[in-house]
Structure 1
Amino acid sequence: MTADRKICMIPGPIEFHEDVLAAMATPATSHVDPNFVPIFGETIEMVRKVVISENAQPFIVSGSGTLGWDMMVNLIEQGDKVLLLNTGYFGSHFAQCLETYGAEVTQLGAEVGSRPSQEAIKEACSKTQYKFVTVTHVDTSTGVLSDIKAVAETVKSVSPNTLVVVDGVCSVGSEEIRFDDWNLDIVITGSQKGLGVPPGLSIVVASQKALQVVKDRKTPVPSYYSNWNKWLPVMQAYEARKPSYFATPAVQLIYALHASLTKVLSQSLEDRFDKHRKVASQFRQTVKEWGLKQVAQCEECSANGMTAIWLPEGVQVGKLVGGLAEKGVQIAGGILKDHATQYFRIGHMGISVMEDERQHIKKVESALANSLQELGYKGASA
């Protein structure tokens, strides 16, 4: 690591613990090595614990979080109807993925910074029998947090057989998720955000009900690499501490995930969720005191792992991002269509939140305040 390295405070990848980076340096190891097999098996079990489930099935596969979208090919047959709750950029792109495999997608949206109401969801599910409903838990384009517990309750109350699919790429590890208690069917995530591991692992957790839907298909799964019929025996074998093979796993990344999850689960998950809520709330309050407005329109619909903030008049996003970079902090610009140049985004997840001694949040606030002042906005104070 170089002395001038910027701390990465975007909505992912996030900062990685030194033990995670050390695990990435594991020497070349066979994926069927007796030392690796139990590591993979324990990692599968820990993923289940992080989403608080007793019997859901994790899949840990080499790829980005987007591969988790692609894995929904296992649930889709031509013409299946899907309701997609859209809260930003990633909802729109998830729809494109599902349509690729023949799903008929109905999008239920809301104005920028908000989320569809439970009444609108209930009405939509009452009119049409959907194969599944998808919801982006945290859309990193807007910083909007969806109430997945309420969504699942609403959907299941109207249509018990409809699956609930959660895009949790930017929420697993930083937002509360109770897979079993909330009656979820799919949670999709990636390694590089709340789980605190370098990019490269796609992680999907499926309910037994979702697995039965795959078994009951009338047509073959039109995918090779994403096919759960290929991956399920592999996951089950490693969890039983037996080697198996379909495609070579990312051995070093799995060592890294094992190291990170060991740390995550060494503390109470409730304490972890509460700490993320507390830090996010304090950060939002600081921004508000500076006279800035966040994209998410309400406190309860604001993510706890990241914040999207509208730029003050006269401040250009490129100059603000560059100003913070000069001070050793990397933040992100906007990505939402038609608004990308009007706001910026900051991540606050993982060790940056849980380990106060690192002072990451304070460094962000100081660099942000100073950069805004340099660009002519006088409301911020370090």
Structure 2
Amino acid sequence: MSSDLRDAVFVLNAGSSSLKYQLVHPDTGVVVAAGLVERVQNHRDALAGVFEQLAADGIDLRADTGALCAVGHRVVHGGQTFYQPTLITDEVVAEIERLSALAPLHNPPALLGIGAARELLPGVPNVAVFDTAFFHGMPDAATTYAIDRDTAQQYGIRRYGFHGTSHEYVSSLVPGLLRKPAADVDQIVLHLGNGASASAIRGGRAVDTSMGLTPLEGLVMGTRGGDIDPGILLHLDRVAGYTSADTDELLNRRSGLKGLCGDNDFRAVTARIEDGDEAARLAYDVYIHRLRKYVGAYLAVLGGADAISFTAGVGENAAAVREDALAGMQRLGIEIDPERNAVRSGEARIISTDESAVTVFVVPTNEELAIARQSAALL
């Protein structure tokens, strides 16, 4: 088993009550094992249970920890400190913990996963790959908020962006699909899942993205509403006595599709629309309206685009979303082919017409493989 897994990476994505894992060979992309543990009470015990199950299936990672190349961890927020894959040490753990103030829902669970992996696989290097890293080098005009400069600098307030691992992975494939050098390709990537974000990428480098200091800004999402007039929060403070905890609950859990119609599963929303549900229809229309605004904005930022790519759960599977998001944009050089768009496939594919000046793709994302490759490359 050692020789079989010497170059394999165990990728771990720890949520507040979940553990998603994948054992993958970064060179070939071959997945040896994958799974999801839900309703996690103790991350250490949950990971130990995963290793026990793998051992029962003939993959005993703890028997010979030298068999693994690395454990790769998805960490949401790297702040301004981390913008490359980073070997995890006690000092790195302390800094990720300090950055939890910027991502209180995401960094703490990642730290629990890191702690569990370091304890259970003591001989294996652990690598942190940060969601914010791909957007670190964006222009100052894109990262800077128009608030008091000293306050922003004191508290690290700037646009960081998220889903960077996915945006980087998808955007790196597009030049090859177009048969053009990466430096010659300007593109928009739409990562549409329960969390959703857009990015504008010029010549392989991100120049703008929809999420900001936190993953709350930008597109309409499953339970997050994206862009909002901050005066609304001041208004709720004055007239309803909203505390910071109330605001956090509203913005993170009672907004987006969930807040508008009570469902954040896109399949359920679509089924309700087909049954004539007006709340679901409005939720969908708001979602599409915001998405179209960002496509238009990023076309302006880039001065036109060579490609637009849809990815993640909704982007890869909801043909109606893709069609409605780009409908009526022929004057912008964008034309969807309905038959191509209706095809369901796990492969990257073109869904625009042959006449479309902008090539529109569906590109399945693979964040686990991206994390595995970045972890292996570091080591």
TM value normalised by structure 2: 0.29
TM value normalised by structure 1: 0.29
Larger RCO of the pair (alpha carbons < 8 Å, separation 6+): 1
